[in-house]
Chains A and B, each alone.
Chain A
């Protein structure tokens, strides 16, 4: 008999005063004992709702409308609260995406363990400490963690603690809901390793919910793919990898590629940097398709004409810049976010700035855009010294240096229409008014592919998808014909299927408009796809730089290699098995 059998399960959201929506539709599957199964889907596919439903953690307005969940032969879909609570020990446990925030900040880790042991009374008082040590060891944490408070632990450590807490109930079924999504790339890699090892040694049944097919394929033996509330594919990892049946699965798989490969190709994106040469520009020219080469060299393009009367194109020169933040709390050291970084971003160039979180890449972006000032060192943009600009100078700088934000959900004011968002920079910088300004706004929407433009102009951000929002953000950055665009992780919040489109757009616009781009990311694959130059940052220092293809194919610094290894690779996973 299977450990978990789900039959025709539907979950419906019934918010007051709104139409009910089915998040999960007639899902049926079963999990065998000791099996490690993945559940993959994009945002809104219903995968988390399904995870919450099988552990009976779903709350109003979500409701299980039909179907049965047989856990160990008993139907938990209709179980009472108290019975359910008892069932959680030796039954099923869940580790959440925000599990690291699930710890109570004012209670020590020791008390967290104590609470769980006391609630279920399954560990005698005298053995509790030994049991807690044992659990910490399993998730590879030192014993001293017990007396720390959640705020003193890093995100990865907190997620490990919450895994240990879930394990303390000796569950037969563990549901991991995006357990590593909120973590840094390198940490994510390590935590996933721990989860894999635990599953093998403890032999619990595990369901891994993730949007990242790469991670899932690396760890699991069977994968279910979910799309719009329906499980569209269910097969062994090998099958999914080698012969995906459903087109949705094929699409997801298509967006993975190894940044170390000789030729990197992702649907919808031009292959670039396939040949390695000694100069940066020849590789760019080789990568650019012939027609586009003509556009760039033939008749002067529209933006060039529009730039008449504005300062000549100029490079950003960063020289020996250091940024030290004052110590956050008494007793702690001051933080050196950026340490002696120098580089030059030539006009029309595209450079990637990569590193794990805390490597100082976002701080560098703030310095270059004049939001923050460096502790020492200089930043030049043409004639201007960015590091000493005052308010008026900053305004001038922002006409030329624009930014694309990471989170499209917070980068647009929820109460203003798309037209308003795009109108502001047009009115402020270009000197256009009334009808002309509006025409320019519509033209921008057309440029970023949001057609029909009239309709999109009138929309509010919540009526747009994540990808569409990011296009609006890009359009806003382009509104005043800047020379430089700083893109801070522009695709990290988007679904895989949307990433390629946004990246292609950024790359196209950069080439067409002759804009230079500083592309900040932790994702080496996207860096390989849209940049020519790369700089790898580790703890504020540049550890490696050069041509993107060169650096990623033949990395020299151990940190770069570590970053490359941390990328989930479905194909590599297949080979290893």
Chain B
């Protein structure tokens, strides 16, 4: 059967012209990747146009650079401990040395690796779970939704930090993987709830009904029709999750849970408070990692101001009241 047969008869209102079209017609490629790239760059431009977000991006990039190029930036190794103990800041040791005789500045630089890594991996994983759970939960109706509701509420009402401590204590000597696991396990529920409510509002739109009429299945509708409409919310939820993951990791390490021999900002705080750094006058030992944690978390929060503008043009800076 040739293609031309399928053409409808010309009708009154449509002009009766049929361009010659045979089986050998060249079919151009659909414009998929190009347009999604354009959307991405437009989104990046929107974030960049927000002053707060710009500061956040610069800060974050600085930390990421610090993490990547740590061996080049740090003057010594992270656990190189041949130096004098509890030395005050000096030309050779900018931030002084620890009770174990390690260079504090080098530890800060190497500690960025853990925080950035945990932040992004745990943030990504808990967002992933939040997206899968939240979207399906928002789309389906009936008893399964009630079951999910129960589980999410359960995770939400249990206080996070104690739960993390219990789980972490249970899974001893797991190191970084264990911390990521614990952070993800306790961090996905909030995002899932937010994404679910947005999904419910989108599923009421006509184009979802239209997709059902077009014969699309539930999974296709959720991930091809609904998901793209929530990119900004998901991005925001990712930065939120990453922030709380960074804070949780520092908290857990500070409490001495996990591997205390790994050099991270949290474990630096742990050792600093163990060696009574404040009493010995070495405030930098507490101050430097604390400030870094705060700055990294702040940078992500600042970026989220720009992400808000993605979905709501009114939140873009300078666009009127």
Contact = CB atoms under 8 A, between A and B. Distances in A.
Contact of B211 (A417, A424, A449): A424
Contacts of B150: none
Interface string A1-20: 00000000000000111000
Contacts of B229: 413-415
B216 interface: yes
User: Which of B7, B9, B39 has the most chain A CB atoms inside 10 A of its CB?
Assistant: B9
Contacts of B39: 415
A439 B9 contact: no
B91 interface: no
Contact of B9 (A295, A369, A505): A295
Contacts of A292: 11-12
Interface in B1-17: 3, 5-9, 11-15
B225 A413 contact: yes
B320 A59 contact: yes
Q: Chain B, interface size: which category?
A: 35 or more
B21 A417 contact: no
B316 A16 contact: yes
A305 B5 CA distance: 9
Interface in A266-312: 268, 270, 289, 292, 295, 301-303, 305-306
Interface string A498-523: 00010011001101110000000000
Contacts of B205: 410
B30 interface: yes
A306 B6 CA distance: 8
B31 A407 contact: no
A411 B213 CA distance: 11
A263 interface: no
A416 B205 CA distance: 15
B273 interface: no
Q: Does more than half of chain B's interface fall in helix, strand or loop, or is it mixed?
A: loop
A425 B9 contact: no
A446 B214 contact: no
A443 interface: yes
A424 B27 contact: no
B159 interface: no
Contacts of A268: 13
A292 B35 CA distance: 42
A59 B314 CA distance: 13
A131 interface: no
Interface string B294-321: 0000000000000000000000101111
A204 to B, nearest CB: 30
Interface in A435-481: 435-436, 438-440, 443, 446-449, 454, 458, 460, 473, 476-477, 479-480
Given A60-B320, A413-B229, A425-B214, A436 B3 contact: yes
Contacts of A369: 213
A416 B11 CA distance: 29
Interface stretch (A156-164, A223-231, A394-402): A394-402
Contacts of B228: 413, 415-416
Nearest to B212: A398
Given A410-B205, A412-B207, A439-B27, A424 B215 contact: yes
B28 A398 contact: no
Contacts of A414: 229
